[in-house]
């Protein structure tokens, strides 16, 4: 693995761990695609640091479980704004 990729993986994992960010939020902060963040966290990170990978996996699973709630809230706000 090239050094810049390894550094990116560790930087993104630190950011997600500290902020409990979603894949989409992390991608926006680091200027990469959601696919890149997902691949970094699910495939590359376990090869670098298994313990950290398990922590990140837990955060990503939590975010995925809550995804429908965030989407529903965004839709509610959208229509509420339209009615005003």
Q: Which residues span the domain enclosing 28?
A: 3-83
Q: What is the pLDDT of residue 72?
A: 74
Q: What is the pLDDT of residue 75?
A: 80
Tokens (6 digits) for 46: 């376990």
Q: How many domains in the chain?
A: 1
pTM metric for this prediction: 0.80
H-only helix segments in the chain: 3-19, 23-30, 34-39, 45-48, 50-83
What's the whole-number average pLDDT of the chain?
91
Give the residue carrying structure tokens 């992390």. Answer: 26
Total residue count of the chain as it appears in this document: 84
């Amino acid at each position: 693995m090239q050094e810049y990729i390894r550094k990116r993986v560790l930087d993104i994992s630190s950011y997600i761990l500290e902020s409990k960010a979603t894949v989409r939020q992390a991608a926006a902060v680091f200027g990469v695609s959601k696919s890149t963040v997902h691949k970094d966290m699910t495939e590359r990170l376990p090869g670098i640091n298994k313990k950290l990978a398990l922590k990140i996996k837990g955060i990503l699973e939590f975010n995925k479980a809550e995804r429908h709630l965030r989407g529903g809230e965004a839709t509610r706000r959208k229509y509420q704004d339209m009615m005003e």
